[in-house]
Amino acid sequence: MIEKKIKKELEANLGGKKVFEEKEFLIAYSYDATGNEFLPDLVVFPENEKDVENVINIAFRHKIPITPRGAGVGYTGGSLPVQGGIALVFTRMNRILSIDMENFIAEVEPGVITYNLQEEVEKKGLFYPPDPASLKTSTIGGNVAENAGGLRCFKYGVTGNYVLGLEAYLIDGRKIKTGGRVIKNVAGYDIKSLLVGSEGTLAIITRIILKLIPLPRYRRLFQIDFNSLKKGAEFINEMIRTNISPSVLEFMDETSITAVCQFQGIALDPSIRASVLVEIDGNESDVIERANRFSQLVRNTSVIDFKIAETSIEQEKLWSLRRNISPAISKYKPKKINEDIVVPTSKIPDTVEFINNLALEFNIKTVLFGHFGDGNIHTNLLVDPENKDEMKHAEIMLEKIFKYVISVNGSISGEHGIGISKMPFMKFQFSESEMEVFKNIKKSFDPENLLNPGKIFELK
């Protein structure tokens, strides 16, 4: 418990209504998309960098844990205050500080909603490509903390590819600037890249400098249906080799297609075993040329169905299939265990087959979809948390999946991070020596283990 005098000290230094201990605030910031709950002792809403500095100085002096938090929509518990202390919520630090048209740069505070930034830069003919599924609620700070990805990763990369610089506070209250406003910058250690994806365990980020690119003015979307996921994968590999350069490569397996069609009341051809969504973007003449080559490739391939969406209305109709997977599968069971494994793209069909066989063995309803271009398979185990046998089977199944993924040179997480949910599985991917390096980095930044403690790995 945090003593009353510390709360008063925070209030005196921050001013205004920024510090809360009321039960409704503690509960509201105690959980995320995992369904786990950990009550903080205080919830603090900084409105500027000085507020952040004051909170850190007081917390460091009194040895109080701090958990930075954005929108709290993460799937691994990264923003949960597992050791209590202060939940430092950045939703009030939500200003787009500048959009530099000459240098293609945006500077933002960590609480800026991803979609809001995209809208603002697009009004100026610029483009911020990272697009996590939660983009209308997730914050840039949270995206940076998890190095979030999204549908456009194949062509455009992940959040970290667009972070040019960061300003952050260390746990002892010192401010650091890392990176900057230039693309080439190799002076000193690359602390910026270390902080990206560190889940708030090393420093507290207060300003983010992002690279922007010209806005693609034209796009076409395609849906191709196959009688097997393997044929879909072979088609995608051939398309990549022909240099069509799609911006989006999404796949849905049979279980996800069935769920969405039932949810939307759409008749489903029973011979369809996989659907692939492909988007091509760029200048109009370039997109038309690549779309023509793509269509020719489809005509030379054995497919069940092929749809082309040119208008925004047609595109929205196709996208609704992909976007409605989550609400569709929520009808099956009370709880969804959402994993984001990654495998080499050539291993996607084998991995899907492996997971589906496990689902049959353990009688766990499993829905698979994801990003064909980068090998990211969203693996959804649908369970009843009140059914102990089902939860135990899901736990065994997850361990087998993670071990398999590592055996084919994949990773246990592509965009959700580790948090608390995947801590037990880090040992499958990293050796003891590698884990020791991680822990030493953490100790050098945060020797008292006060910044988002209890995440990624256990510290003794």
Distance between start and end Cα atoms, the chain: 22
Q: What is the pTM of this model?
A: 0.95
The tokens for 433 are: 């020596």
Domain shared by 172 and 66, yes or no: no
**CB-based burial of residue 433 (10 Å sphere; 0-12 exposed, 13-18 middle, 19+ buried)?**
exposed
Domain shared by 206 and 101, yes or no: yes
pLDDT of res. 121: 98
- The CATH number given to whatever domain includes residue 40 is 3.30.43.10
Mean pLDDT of 414-431: 96
Residue 277's nearest CA partner among 376, 151, 159, 134 is: 151
- The CATH number given to whatever domain includes residue 192 is 3.30.465.10
Judge whether 269 lies within some domain.
Answer: yes
Distance CA 386, CA 316 (A): 37
How far lies 21's CA from each of 2, 41, 42, 140, 211, in Å? 10, 7, 5, 26, 38
Judge whether 118 lies within some domain.
Answer: yes
Percent of the chain exceeding pLDDT 90 equals 90
Domain shared by 222 and 322, yes or no: yes
Distance CA 352, CA 356 (A): 6
Judge whether 458 lies within some domain.
Answer: no
Look at residue 426 and tell me whether its pLDDT is greater than 80. yes
Helix (H) or strand (E) holding 66: strand 66-69
Question: String of b and e for 78-97 (b: at least 16 CB within 10 Å)?
Answer: bbbbbbbbbbbbbbebbeee
Q: What is the pLDDT of residues 247-284, one digit of tens each?
A: 999 999 999 999 999 999 989 899 999 999 999 999 99
Look at residue 312 and tell me whether its pLDDT is greater than 90. no
Per DSSP bridges, beta strands 335-342 and 305-309 are: unpaired
The residue with greater pLDDT, 69 or 327, is 69
User: DSSP 3-state assignment of 350?
Assistant: helix
Q: What is the pLDDT of residues 46-103, one digit of tens each?
A: 999 999 999 999 999 999 999 999 999 999 999 999 999 999 999 999 999 999 999 9
Look at residue 133 and tell me whether its pLDDT is greater than 90. no
pLDDT of res. 327: 87
With tokens 């398309």, the residue in question is 239
pLDDT grade, residue 216 (50/70/90)?
very high
**Boundary (domain end) residue, out of 309, 326, 343:** 326
**Boundary (domain end) residue, out of 26, 59, 89:** 89
User: DSSP 3-state assignment of 456?
Assistant: coil
Q: What is the pLDDT of residues 350-375, one digit of tens each?
A: 999 999 999 999 999 999 999 988 99
pLDDT grade, residue 330 (50/70/90)?
confident
Mean pLDDT of 397-411: 98
43 bridge partner residues: 20, 87
How far lies 341's CA from each of 11, 109, 232, 406, in Å? 43, 30, 19, 10
Domain shared by 55 and 141, yes or no: no
Helix (H) or strand (E) holding 220: strand 218-226
Domain shared by 358 and 316, yes or no: no
The tokens for 191 are: 């602390």
Judge whether 457 lies within some domain.
Answer: no
Find the domain containing 370 and state its range.
Answer: 332-428
> Among 11-20, 180-189, 237-246, which is the least confidently predicted range?
237-246
How far lies 5's CA from each of 1, 58, 335, in Å? 12, 11, 41
Domain shared by 321 and 336, yes or no: no
Domain shared by 154 and 247, yes or no: no
pLDDT of res. 323: 85
Domain shared by 128 and 184, yes or no: yes
- The CATH number given to whatever domain includes residue 300 is 3.30.70.2190
Judge whether 434 lies within some domain.
Answer: no
**Boundary (domain end) residue, out of 199, 214, 229:** 214
pLDDT of res. 54: 98
Domain shared by 210 and 100, yes or no: yes
Mean pLDDT of the chain: 95
Judge whether 125 lies within some domain.
Answer: yes
pLDDT of res. 310: 83
pLDDT grade, residue 433 (50/70/90)?
very high
pLDDT of res. 321: 86
Per DSSP bridges, beta strands 66-69 and 86-89 are: parallel
Domain shared by 240 and 161, yes or no: no
pLDDT grade, residue 212 (50/70/90)?
very high
Domain shared by 140 and 188, yes or no: yes
Look at residue 460 and tell me whether its pLDDT is greater than 80. no
Distance CA 456, CA 442 (A): 10
Look at residue 38 and tell me whether its pLDDT is greater than 80. yes
When divided into structural domains, the chain yields a total of 4
Judge whether 16 lies within some domain.
Answer: yes
Judge whether 295 lies within some domain.
Answer: yes
Domain shared by 185 and 233, yes or no: no
213 bridge partner residues: 127
